[in-house]
Amino acid sequence: DSGVTQTPKHLITATGQRVTLRCSPRSGDLSVYWYQQSLDQGLQFLIQYYNGEERAKGNILERFSAQQFPDLHSELNLSSLELGDSALYFCASSVGVTGGYTFGSGTRLTVV
Amino acid sequence: GIQVEQSPPDLILQEGANSTLRCNFSDSVNNLQWFHQNPWGQLINLFYIPSGTKQNGRLSATTVATERYSLLYISSSQTTDSGVYFCLPYNQGGKLIFGQGTELSVKP
CA–CA distance, A4 with A102 (Å, rounded to integer): 7
Specify the pLDDT at position A8.
Answer: 97
B57-106: pLDDT as tens digits: 999 999 999 999 999 999 999 999 999 999 999 876 656 788 899 999 99
The pLDDT tens digits of the residues spanning A16-32 come to 999 999 999 999 999 99
Interchain contact B31–A (C-beta under 8 A): yes
- Is residue A109 classed as helix, strand or coil in its secondary structure? strand
Most confident of A35-39, A71-75, B42-46: A71-75
Q: How far apart are CA B2 and CA B97, in angstroms?
A: 7
> Between A and B, how many CB-CB pairs are < 8 A?
55
The residue among A90, A81, A112, A110 whose CA lies nearest residue A23 is A90
Q: Is the pLDDT of residue A40 over 80?
A: no
Look at residue B30 and tell me whether its pLDDT is greater than 90.
no
According to the model, what pLDDT value does residue B94 have? 57
Residues A81, A19: contact at Cβ < 8 Å?
yes
Minimal-distance CA residue of chain A relative to B88: A101
The predicted structure's pLDDT at residue B55: 97
pLDDT of residue A95 exceeding 80, the answer is: yes
Nearest Cα of chain B lies from the Cα of A80 at a distance, in angstroms, of: 26
Residue of B nearest to A36 (CA): B98
The predicted model gives A87-100 an average pLDDT of 86
pLDDT band, very low/low/confident/very high, at A99 (cuts 50, 70, 90): low
Contact criterion met (CB < 8 Å) for A42 and B45: no
Q: For all residues of chain B together, what is the average pLDDT?
A: 92
Rounded to a whole number of angstroms, the distance from the CA of A39 to the nearest CA of chain B is: 11
Mean pLDDT of B44-64: 96
